[in-house]
Structure 1
């Protein structure tokens, strides 16, 4: 996602999720589709949240408005030997930017 560097490691992932849940304390995700393959899991879901703290997107920053937002996302989770090795997330950037007031 624009505004965030690629991260690696359990602690870095915990910190990133902590930031998201602080910025959007009412964050909720409704899974709409799951596809499981030999080495890949695909999750499609809808996120609803209200921004409570500034949120950077590229060179811009969304500011809290109190208005709930809704946008779709997809996670690609790669795994090997029963362990997830990579997670890539793709969001509907237009809907997310609109929800952030950008």
Structure 2
């Protein structure tokens, strides 16, 4: 595999260090939250997803078809990752802006 070269311009060593520390801290916070709440990566059925969101199965199907919420096909079953469903809702929340 070839070398990858990273070229930095218009930054000093301290700013560069602070950016790295900030990104590592954010990554560790996300990892810590996952460890504290293992339920967040749980796979949900269509019905569980509909119950979680308080909507009908028709709405879940429509949102899946429109790529509003990501879905996974496992055999002949459709599953949703709980954390991705909740993130998708935040992203599409018109009142949260």
Structure-2-length-normalised TM-score: 0.29
Rg larger for: 2
Structure richer in helix, relative to its length: 2
What is the TM-score of this pair, normalised by structure 1?
Answer: 0.28
